[in-house]
Structure 1
């Protein structure tokens, strides 16, 4: 619930044409200051000033990404309901709103093309990895089975990459955040998550070894095919423990031990898979208790053509109450 003064303040903050247009645009997804400046055809200082007022009122949130800042609508339920009620009665045939949405569509098309180009440029290397382990569809099904039907309120996907885990768990979580240090990958993830059923999912640039900037805690943290890129995987688990709620769960998907040295040389892998003993030790040191350790053996024609196909392992652990 909101007090009388809070509601008056929120109405004042949103009660200006440019700020209302900004809220309508952010209802379509996360946008940067650069995006909003291009859509509204206003100066960067002017757009930043309006966003500052919306941020200070609590109607929008900031998602810093290096030198850039993305904005999204607040995740506060009461304030979000107020925004939704306002936008629900907004005339979407208004010439200015129509023009804003047309420009937004043009920007999204450009971003989608950029994402497609990125996929095309890296497709050969990704295909080389895919034929070495169980199909991704089988991994995703195993992830869903491992997590079960337990509700997910706050999901944090570390090293989100192209946002595949966020997309997979979209229907199961109330709110999802993906962190990744690579801006190109984040561009791909934003394109992937651009849709009416993904408004509760967000991505932002961040370091999975430094989560101090996060302002909330989570009941599920996922780390999908990330730890093998790290010199010290245990440090990532320790950091995850700082933002996991008591009783919360952490799910790690990665490779079992292997000897594919070319992955270290050509694909920047720092660790060649993880044993169950090592993962249990790291989980224990981070304050977790492993409840599931499941190996997915490589199968299928493509995998059969590789004598040393990779095994994918899923570990699920809980943080004691």
Structure 2
């Protein structure tokens, strides 16, 4: 009874209802909600605390920011669906429309910040891209490697600017994207579509300790990320841990090279990988090498490796032998 009282008490306030409506549209920071509803951040924080304590809203810290999303508790799914089915009164319709208009402005602010960041760092990224085959051809090879099977739950490790979310997100059932940088996560978040926010989860984390349970992901992608790992074999093993049976791990990175400036200037811990290295690390992590593809072009050669998680082997029980041992 108390849980129900807490739940309905949490929703029994106009501002808190507005917050829930906004979070149905997208994940938001407390300051962004304050901007939309036109109230002070401390006041919004008090409303958020009530929603969190009732289990309606989840909070997630990301650097110095705190982001909010609707609870993923399946028991609350029918409740959130009700928000889209009940016809609002004329007054409610007006404030919903006004809130959504201001929410569009928040989206525009995110996109503007992303554009500014891209402009500031364009020369750095262009310098690396000029050394290898075009990104379009790399992405086409990645799509080809994963074609023919469902993506399922996609885990994008080191999402950066969120390009893999854009590329594979429409085909995935849901997406978890991880990056160590709050700035990068804000850039990626600016690219999320606004129609299905519940499919996307952007989380600050490290590839050596993924914030996922065992066998939770169906497809894992490392796009130009593995060369930042001091111990790539450990990172691959951690990715394999979260893969479901028959789940796939796709790695796009460089073949061995001698561009020492990338280590010094761009913090590359590894100057590329050989097929033998990846195959050995796959095997140690319980992955089969499904395919590898070489994309030469320029001073750096891009490689695409695809591994598959071993299906758990069930050893059949010999009933006769078992009877003999227990007789």
Q: Work out whether the TM-score is over 0.5.
A: yes
Q: For residues 193-243 of structure 1, what are the alpha-carbon distances to aligned partners after superposition, in whole Å with 9 as ceiling and x for unaligned?
A: 1433665223121112122x4357211111110011121112211222232
Q: Which runs of 4+ in 1 moved over 6 A?
A: 4-9
Distance 1:114 1:274, change over 3 A: same
Separation (CA, whole Å) in 2 of partners of 1:53 and 1:243: 33
Q: Identify unmatched segments of 5+ residues in structure 1.
A: 299-305
Distance 1:292 1:64 in 2: 38
Change (3 A) 1:265 1:97: same
**Superposition pairs of residues 253-292 of structure 1, within 5 angstroms:** 253-292=252-291
Contact 1:65/1:206, CA 8 A, preserved across alignment: no
Contact 1:73 1:80 in 2 (8 A): no
Q: In the alignment, does 2:182 pair up with 1:183?
A: yes
Task: Give the whole-Å Cα distance in 2 for the aligned partners of 1:171 and 1:6.
Answer: 36
SS in 1 for 2:152: strand
Match of 2:33 among 36, 40, 55: 36
Q: Aligned residue for 1:220?
A: 219
Q: Secondary structure in 2 aligned to 1:314? A: strand
Q: Please tell me whether residue 68 in structure 1 is matched to residue 58 in structure 2.
A: no
For residue 169 of structure 2, give the secondary structure of its aligned residue in structure 1: coil
TM-superposed CA distance for 1:6, in Å, is 8.2
Equivalenced residues, count: 308
Corresponding position of 2:308: 318
Which digits, 9 at most, give the CA deviation of each residue in 1:144-197, with x for residues without a partner?
111123223211111000111111111211110100011221121111114336
Give the distance between the partners of 1:136 and 1:84, measured in 2 at CA. 40
Query: Aligned partners of 1:5, 1:170: CA distance in 2, in Å?
Result: 39
Specify the alignment match of 2:23 in structure 1.
26
Distance in 1, Cα, partners of 2:219 & 2:4 = 33
Instruction: Label 1:6 to 1:147 Cα distance change in 2 as closer, same or farther (>3 A).
Output: farther
- Report the counterpart of residue 147 of structure 1 in structure 2: 146
Check conservation: 1:257, 1:273, Cα contact below 8 A. Answer: yes
Cα distance change on mapping 1:236 and 1:280 into 2, 3 Å: same
- Counting only pairs closer than 5 Å after superposition, residues 1-321 of structure 1 correspond to structure 2 as 13-76=10-73, 79-91=76-88, 94-196=93-195, 200-211=199-210, 213-214=211-212, 217-298=216-297, 306=298, 308=299, 310-320=300-310, 321=312
Aligned partners of 1:134 and 1:312 also within 8 Å: yes
Per-residue CA deviation, residues 76-116 of structure 1 (Å, 9 max, x unaligned), is: 55633431331343549733223322322222222211111
Query: Deviations along 1:22-55, whole A, 9 cap, x unmatched?
Result: 1211122111112112222334444334334434
Further displaced range: 138-147 or 239-248: 239-248
What residue number does 2:322 align with?
none
Q: Kindly indicate whether the alpha-carbon contact (under 8 Å) linking 1:162 and 1:188 is maintained by their aligned counterparts in 2.
A: yes
Residues in 2 aligned to 1:153 and 1:52: alpha-carbon distance in whole angstroms: 33
Structure 2 stretches lacking a partner, 5+ long: 313-327
Q: Is the 8 A contact 2:217 2:247 kept in 1?
A: yes
Structure exhibiting the larger radius of gyration computed from Cα positions: 2
- 1:57–1:156 Cα change, 3 Å: farther
CA RMSD of aligned residues (A): 2.5
* Contact 2:213 2:242 survives alignment (8 Å): no
